Structures are given as structure tokens and as C-alpha cells.
A and B are shown apart, each in its own frame.
Chain A
Amino acid sequence: MSLLNVENLEVSFVTRNGTSKAVKGVSFTVEPKQITAIIGESGSGKSVSCYALLGLIPSPPGRIDGGVASFEGQNLLTLSEAELRKIRGSDIAMIFQDPMTCLNPYLTIGEQLIEPLLVHRNLSRADAKTRAIELLNEVGIRSPDSTFDSFPHEFSGGMRQRVMIAMALINEPKLLIADEPTTALDVTIQAQILRLIADLQKHRDIGVLFISHDLAVVSDIADQIVVMEQGEVVESGAPDAIFNHAQHPYTQKLLAAIPSGERDSEEAKDDALINVQNLRTWFHGSGKTEPVKAVDDVSFDIHRGEILGLVGESGSGKSTLGRSIMRLAPVTGGQITFDGIQLTGLEGRDLKDFRSRMQMIFQDPFASLNPRMTVYDTLAEPLLLHNVCQRAELDQHIAKLMDDVGLARNFIRKYPHEFSGGQRQRIAIGRALATRPEFIVADEPVSALDVTIQAQILDLLMALGREHNLTMLFVSHDMAVIRHIADRVLVMYHGKIVEAGPVKQVFNNPAEPYTQSLLSSIPGVAMM
């Protein structure tokens, strides 16, 4: 018998502008001791479906229109709020994407862990503490005794997610709902957390409902995959079947969008456009504390016309390195030479003129565009600033840029908030290309995007790179994306470059243990 059986779930949102159906007749099951994964892009209704089961969608505007969700003989959808509250957190527990917002910053981890034990189980403080420490141990937290009295901000993202998992487990749930639990985490940490969830589920006999946008992530752990698109289940089945015999075009599109394979890069050209020598970017904190060595004595070349991948986890200094080359972050020492010109000493007017030769694409297209400026104004700014064209030719140039990045011309007067993430990133790319730069730093340009959009933007970048003979430094935490787009790759760890070489060499014969661990953490390797 299934642990959870959802049939024909219908959820809609009633707003001033009419009713929109978010979930249209969705059915799925979670078997005991198994992991069911729901896959979909943002707006596919995957989270809404799961939140509706627990009565967690705000109502109004949310409304459950129909369906049955049987969990241990009860229909969750018809339970009263009081009855649901009893089930939430005890029989069904949840973990979320961002563990920081789910923990109270003013209470110690231990205090938050034992609270449910004190309230629901009437355990004594000492017993509760023993139990909590056991759990912290089980979710792989080192020295749980001292952890018990720490505050949430003293932990890394991965550790916090472990604490959240411990909190979810404390009442021994039968069903665990995990909503994108690894999306905010580094790739090596993600692999650890996935392994932890899979282990716990085996040892504790719980069913897991795992919500994710990333097909690759769930491929390793799921027993059942449900693919959702626009509020409907388009396909479901075992991972094997999904990966090898996908029936629905949308699933095929999702699979095709997973970055894979390598570029056929030409033989390395020795013509260096940029030469970085012993670059150091240190940030001095207040007082006499050790400076944070974000970039520590780094040397490398970027060859003309190549895409150089820069990979590393958060805190490795990869973004700072990109920003230092762009002269956005202060350079503490070392030299950057661009086409024979010393970049590090450039100031004022010279620096301004030089900026037209190198541009940057940022990670978050929702933050990198001025919300008060239309596309026209955004694109006109660099054109006029660097006298790329006369005012009379301005419209023509802007239209050309719109065509280049694949945006319809009649969007020209719209504001950033009227575009989707992918379209916004196209605007940002257009702005970066406006000054006809030779060199572009792309700082995680696709990591905020849905996987199918990600594939489109990567294709666009590669096409534009060829067309305009661009040299690119492509910064990413995602090994698969780097392999897909880059010619050569630098691996960064703790502010230093630990490995460098052509993509083929680094990916097939990684020399450094750190690179090896990064590679083994890529989700879905087994399936590819």
C-alpha cells in the first residue's frame, strides 16, 4: 500500500485578474521506503502541489478545487487546520531550500531541536538533549556536543541543511517532503546532502517526496520520477525509463538541456589577450585580523578567442578573481596585462575608455538591470557613453543588438520586471556587447535560470562568442556547464588555482584530489 496517494489534485489561484489553474489533475504516489521526485521548472506547479497537501498554500488566493490525497487512510485535503497541524511536523516533515530562513537566529540549534520534544513528547530536558545530540550525530554533524549550543549563523549552508534535516526527523516522520533542499548548496555539499537523505530514508523506513528543478540531481537517488509542466504531470516512471526512453517531448527537452559533452576546441593558441601575474585581492577586516585572501597569488593567461572556464565552490574566490580583472574589486598586488596594456595602474579617463574593451555579464538578471530603465535606455547608455554611434544611428544600433541577442524588437520600451529571467539575461548580454568588447567576464550567467533556458543562453553565448570573436572568462560552480562551454578550465580552491588545462584533460584525467572530488560530485554522472 502506498504511503501517500495523490489523485487528481486541482489547485487554482483566484486573483483580481481572474482564476489561474496552478495544478491541473495531478496524481502521484509515494511508496514507503522510496523516494519520489517531482521535477519541473519554476511555475510548473511542483511546489504548489506539495504545499497544498499540507494546507500550506495561502488561501485566498489559493484554492483546492478537487482531488484526493490519502495518507494512512486519511484524506489530507479534507482535514481541518487543527488536524493538519497534528500531522505536519510529526507524521509528515518538511525541509526547505534555504535553511537560514527556517531557523530562528536568536536561539541556539539545540534549543530549537529539543523544543518539539519538550512540548509534544514531555521528555525531560536532559533526555531531550541526549536525543537531539544523537540526531545531530546521525545527520553527520561533527562534535554534536558543542554544536548543540551554537547559533545558526555559525554554520555553513550545508551544515544548516543538516540541522534542518535533524529537526525534520526529530518526531520520526513517516513522510519527508524536501523542497529543493540542495539548490542553494555547493556541488560537493549537494552530493553529501543527497547521500544523507538517501541513507536516512533506507535506515529509517521513511518515504521521501523530493521536489527539484534539476533532473540530474534526482537521478541518483529517486525510485520514481514525476515530470511536471504547467500544472500537469506529463510523464512519470523509474529513472531508468525516464532517462533512456523518455516519451513526452517536454521530458526529452529537459534531458537535452542538461549540459553535456565537450566543445570541439581548436588547438590551444598561444596568443595571450590577458596575462595575470601573481594577482592578489585581499580584503582587510576591521582591526588587526588576518586579511581574507579571496584571490591569493594567481597567475594565468587567457588566450585570444577562447572561452576559459573558471570553476570553484562558493568562497573559492572565483567571482572575486573575475571582478578584479574587471577592476570592480580592489587589487592588492600583482599585475593584469590586457593586450600589452597594464590594467592594474589604469585610472580615470584611461580606465573609462578601456572599459569599452571588456564587459561583464552578471549572475542575477533580476538584479543586474536597473528596474527604472526601459530596454532602450539600458542599451542606449553604453552606446552613447563610449560614442559607439551617432545619436541619429542610435535606434539602428539598438535594434541590431536586440536581434543579436534574440529579443523581439517591439519589447524595446518595456521595463525589466516585464521579462522572464531568460529574457532579462539576454538584455544584460546585449548591454555587455553594446560597446563591442573583446573580452567578457561572465559570472555565473546561467545559474539563476531554469535548465531549458540555461541551455538557450549557453548556446547564445557560444554563438555570439564565435560571431564577434570574443574572449571569455566563464565563471561557474557547475562543472557540467563548464565542460559544455569552455575550451580550457581553471579550478580554484581557497583563493588559489589548483589545476589548469584543456577541458578534456582536466575532466578525464584530473590530477588534483580536489578536482576529482568536484567531478565525482556532479549529479547524475551515472545516468549520462
Chain B
Amino acid sequence: MTTLQSSEPADLLENAEMGASLWRDAWQRLRKNKMAVGGGITLLLFIVVALLTPWLAPYSYEAQNLDLGASPPSAAHWLGTDVFGRDVLTQVMYGGRVSLAVGFIATAVALLIGVTWGAIAGYVGGRVDAVMMRIVDILYALPFMIFIVLLMVVFGRNVLLLFLAIGAVEWLTMARIMRSQVQSLRQQEFVEAAISLGLSPAAIIRRHVIPNALGPIIVYTTLTIPSVMLLEAFLSFLGLGIQPPQTSWGLLISYGAETMEEYPWLLIFPGLALTTTLFSLNFLGDGLRDALDVRGSKD
């Protein structure tokens, strides 16, 4: 093009105005939601503390002071101590590491399996879809508690197995959401355009389908993490999850509940940590849903 010689290809991108991607729009909307931002900041704080616990914790994890016994919050022990004289703040911090790790890793497992499974089923369709989704239906029908108890009994209790067990259950809903997203997306003309360009199905799923299906998936992810954490707490409470010497919020709550009447702080503080995290995640999830789903928002 002779008329536009001045603009060398090199500055094609440099001189171009930046477009506003849909992600940036969503981020702008999210930033306006105070509850979601508050939830996000709280969550970030908890994660940072969890990562730095070995350096931040006021006492060592094993340190006991049997003379002290269970003492209420004081200047030396901000959240008090348990019956063995262990610092509750330290316990809650170490417990948070495990609880958050279970929440995030199990959700990541669910995400990976669910998104891949759902995307393939939705995109390929036909018989493949029918078979894949029937498998999901069958797994849905399995009583989940029995499944986990069996896993624990057969393979022995360990954290890795717990991640897998929870992840293996949570991916089912993820797969269904992904499938319905992909089914509606593959009817879109831009996917047809990609087919007529000659893109391979894998490339179409990766470049055109998944990025557009991500919104609901992100929202569901932020809502899955709390449910996974709650599940872990529940299993630990029953004695099926994390076991000593490791600890988690669920386990701490379980111990605290036993001595609820004598030493309430043993229940209150781990409980508070768990509920704060769950609230933060839920606020963030709600905020993300409003930000990503333009139809639902008011403006």
C-alpha cells in the first residue's frame, strides 16, 4: 500500500491504541464492588500468612508448655493455648496451611479434569458426548461419603489421597458447566469460521472455546474452593481427613468442640478463621459473577 508507507510494520503495534478486552472490562466492574475487593484482600492476606507461617508463627509447631495447660488469650499467647499448652495462634496458622492447600489443590484437580472432560464432550458431541456424560451421571449417583470412607480405609489416610478424593467428586459439576458452555459456543459463527480456516479441533477448543467459556468456570471455581474446604473440615471433624501430627482448621474445630464449654477459645478462633475465609471466597465469587456476566449486572 503506497499511501501508508510512513507507518512501518515495526510501529504497527506501538502506535495502535490499546483495546479494552472483556477481561479488563470485568476487572473494572469487579474493582467497584467493595465486598468482592474486601474478600479478595482478606483472602490474599490469609494466603500470604499461610505461605510464610514457618517464619511468622510466634511459637514452633511442636512447642508445648504443659505447665500452662489451657489458658485464655493473653499477651504472650494472643489466642490462648490448648490443653497441652500449645499456642492456638500457631496452631491456627499451621492448620490454615493445610486447609487452604486442600481447598486450592483439590479445586485445581477438579478444574483440570472437569474442564477437559466437559470441553471434549461438548465439542465432539454425539456418542462420545453421551458416553462421557453418562459416566458423569453414574459418578454423581455414587454416595460420595461412602466413596471417600472406602478410599481412606483401603489406601490409608493421607493428604494427597484426600486431595484426589475431593477433586474427583467436585469435577463432575465443573464438567457439566463446561459442556453446556461449549455446546452453545460451538454453534457460534466464529467457531465455524475457525473450522473453515482449517484449525484443528484441539486448537479450536484451546483458542476459541475455552477462553470464552472461562467466565462461568472462574465463578464456579471461587465457589468450589469454599465447599471443598468445608468438606475437608467436615471429614477431619469426623476423623476421616487430616490426622495428627498434621492439623487443619477442621481438626482444630473438632478438638475445640470437645472442650467447648471449658475452653471456648479453642473452638472460636479456628472457627473464625474458617468462616472468614469462606465468606471472603463467597463475596469474591459473587463479585466475579456480577463482573463477568454482564447480563446480570445492573448497568
Spell out A's residues near B (CB within 8 Å): 15-16, 323, 326-328, 351-356, 358-360, 362-364, 367-376, 381-382, 385-386, 393, 395-396, 398-400, 403-404, 409-415, 417-418, 428, 431, 435
Contacts and interface: CB of A to CB of B under 8 A. Distances in A.
18 contacts: A323-B192, A328-B192, A355-B198, A356-B198, A360-B193, A362-B192, A368-B192, A370-B194, A371-B190, A372-B211, A381-B207, A403-B1, A404-B1, A409-B16, A410-B17, A411-B19, A412-B12, A435-B197
Contacts of B15: 409-410
Given A328-B192, A372-B212, A355 B197 contact: yes
Given A354-B198, A372-B21, A414-B19, 19 more contacts: A15-B299, A328-B192, A328-B195, A355-B196, A362-B189, A362-B192, A367-B190, A369-B190, A370-B194, A371-B22, A385-B198, A398-B12, A399-B1, A399-B12, A409-B12, A412-B12, A413-B18, A415-B19, A418-B19
Point out which of A368, A372, A374, A396 has the most chain B C-beta atoms below 10 A from its C-beta.
Answer: A372
Contacts of B194: 370, 381
B24 to A, nearest CB: 9
Q: Which of B3, B18, B192, B198 lies at the interface centre, i.e. has the most chain A CB atoms within 10 A of its CB?
A: B198
A371 B20 CA distance: 11
Given A328-B195, A355-B197, A381-B197, A403 B4 contact: yes
Contact of A368 (B13, B189, B211): B189
Contacts of A395: 9-10, 12-13
Contacts of B19: 374-375, 411, 413-415, 418
B7 interface: yes
A258 to B, nearest CB: 27
Contacts of A381: 194, 197, 199, 207
Interface in B197-219: 197-200, 207-208, 211-212
B21 A367 contact: no
B275 interface: no
A374 B208 CA distance: 12
A223 B19 CA distance: 46
Contacts of B211: 370, 372
Given A367-B190, A369-B190, A410-B15, A418 B20 contact: yes
A481 B144 CA distance: 61
A271 B208 CA distance: 38
A370 B214 CA distance: 13
Contact of A16 (B189, B190, B195, B299): B299
A399 B197 CA distance: 20
A413 B95 CA distance: 46
B243 interface: no
B246 interface: no
Q: Which of B13, B197, B211 has the most CB of A within 10 A?
A: B197
8 A-B pairs with least C-beta separation: A414-B19, A355-B198, A395-B9, A368-B189, A352-B198, A396-B9, A367-B189, A403-B1
Contacts of B189: 362-364, 367-368
A504 B37 CA distance: 66
Contact of B199 (A354, A373, A385): A385
Contacts of A323: 192
Nearest to A323: B192
Nearest to A358: B196
B212 A371 contact: yes
Contact of A409 (B4, B22, B23, B193): B4
B275 to A, nearest CB: 35
B158 interface: no
Contacts of B16: 376, 409-414
A400 B8 CA distance: 11
Contacts of A404: 1
A412 B199 contact: no
A435 B21 CA distance: 26
Given A413-B16, A415-B20, A328 B7 contact: no
B188 interface: yes
Nearest to B192: A328
Contacts of B198: 351-356, 385-386
Nearest to B208: A370
Contacts of B7: 399, 409
Contacts of A413: 13, 16-19
Contacts of B193: 360, 362, 368-369, 428, 431
Contacts of B208: 370
Contacts of A362: 189, 192-193
B6 to A, nearest CB: 10
Interface in B115-142: none
Nearest to B211: A372
A428 B188 CA distance: 14
A489 to B, nearest CB: 24
Contacts of A393: 9
Contacts of A370: 190, 194, 207-208, 211-212
Contacts of B197: 355, 359, 381-382, 385, 431, 435
A371 B209 CA distance: 11
Contacts of A373: 207
Interface string B11-47: 0110111111111000000000000000000000000
Nearest to B7: A409
Contacts of A368: 189-190, 192-193
Contacts of B195: 328
Contacts of A326: 196
B17 A414 contact: yes
A325 B212 CA distance: 28
Contacts of B212: 370-372
A398 B195 CA distance: 21
Given A370-B208, A411-B16, A431-B193, A399 B9 contact: yes
